[in-house]
């Protein structure tokens, strides 16, 4: 009976440790004992007493539960990086949770705990390697001139496509081939944030009368469609004799000029 009680207490501590780790987005090994004690509803001294004075007992119990307690870079960081590498090297189909767990040196249950499945992991990869963080940062301190705003938007998109590992072309390839696939689901989850950033960058110029009052989705498609298409096709066209593609920076300037002609009032 005594051993059963001890086992149940340890299971409660493991549950508390995992909850505290999820709340802080860290490995269990990186969560302070005071935070684990608070999650378990006990004092730190009581927690240490139940652990026999050593944190190692808790880490071992977490391992027995099928979860890596960590102590290295957080599972989340390792898994996002591993998933992006697999997708860039071998395509989105190779980005299985088993393959990610093996490359990230973590357990499969820990991936389910941190990301809530493969779609959650893919969403985290898109957020890390896509243009969204740069666009949100730009929207918090936008340039005053519309021309500078459009140029900055294009630089953010090009930077995202060139970011290593180059996972964004793989995501778009899956998006175009499977409109209801995992890439589409991941992108839809972030569309509200993407549109919010673009609205904050473009709509003030609509209100000022510089941009014609077109629906925001049309403004966004006119903005991103040509550049994304050019970027995706560029590796195919570059070896073609007579393609004569301009350098990337020059192409951005040409697309920006074309966009401004399309959406602004002609003077």
Tell me which of 20-29, 157-166, 203-212, 255-264 is least confident. 20-29
pLDDT tens-digit map of 134-187: 999 999 999 999 999 999 999 999 999 988 899 999 888 888 888 888 888 888
Query: Do 153 and 211 share a domain, yes or no?
Result: yes
Q: Is residue 154 part of a domain?
A: yes
Residue 92 sits in a domain whose CATH number is: 1.10.10
**How many domains does the structure of the chain reveal?**
3
- Give the burial class of 256: count Cβ atoms within 10 A of its Cβ; 0-12 exposed, 13-18 middle, 19 or more buried: buried
Angle at 115 between CA 62 and CA 124, to 5 degrees: 140
Distance CA 100, CA 11 (A): 27
Query: Do 79 and 60 share a domain, yes or no?
Result: no
Q: For the chain, what is the mean pLDDT?
A: 87
Distance CA 124, CA 129 (A): 9
3-state secondary structure of 211: strand
Q: Is residue 122 part of a domain?
A: no
Q: Is residue 192 part of a domain?
A: yes
Q: Is residue 123 part of a domain?
A: no
Query: Do 101 and 17 share a domain, yes or no?
Result: no
Confidence label for 1 from pLDDT (cuts 50, 70 and 90): very low
Confidence label for 267 from pLDDT (cuts 50, 70 and 90): low
Q: Is residue 156 part of a domain?
A: yes
Query: Do 196 and 248 share a domain, yes or no?
Result: yes
Q: What is the pTM of this model?
A: 0.69
Distance CA 214, CA 246 (A): 30
């Amino acid at each position: 009976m005594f051993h059963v009680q001890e086992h149940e207490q340890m299971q409660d501590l493991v549950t508390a440790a995992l909850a505290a780790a999820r709340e802080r987005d860290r490995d269990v090994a990186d969560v302070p004992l005071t935070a684990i004690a608070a999650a378990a509803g006990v004092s730190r001294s009581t927690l240490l007493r139940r652990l026999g004075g050593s944190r190692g007992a808790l880490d071992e119990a977490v391992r027995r539960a099928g979860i890596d307690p960590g102590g290295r870079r957080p599972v989340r960081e390792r898994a996002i990086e591993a998933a992006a590498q697999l997708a860039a090297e071998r395509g989105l189909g190779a980005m299985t949770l088993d393959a990610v767990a093996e490359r990230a040196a973590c357990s499969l249950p820990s991936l389910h705990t941190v990301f809530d499945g493969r779609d959650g992991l893919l969403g985290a990869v898109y957020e890390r390697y896509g243009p969204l963080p740069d666009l949100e940062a730009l929207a918090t301190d936008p340039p005053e001139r519309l021309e500078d705003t459009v140029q900055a938007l294009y630089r953010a998109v090009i930077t995202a496509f060139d970011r290593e590992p180059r996972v964004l072309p793989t995501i778009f390839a899956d998006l175009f081939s499977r409109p209801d696939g995992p890439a589409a689901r991941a992108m839809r989850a972030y569309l509200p944030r993407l549109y919010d950033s673009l609205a904050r960058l473009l709509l003030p110029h609509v209100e000022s009368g510089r941009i014609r009052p077109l629906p925001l989705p049309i403004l966004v498609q006119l903005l991103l469609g040509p550049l994304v298409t050019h970027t995706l096709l560029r590796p195919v066209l570059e070896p073609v004799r007579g393609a004569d593609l301009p350098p990337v920076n020059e192409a951005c300037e040409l697309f920006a000029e074309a966009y401004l002609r399309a959406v602004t009032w002609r003077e």
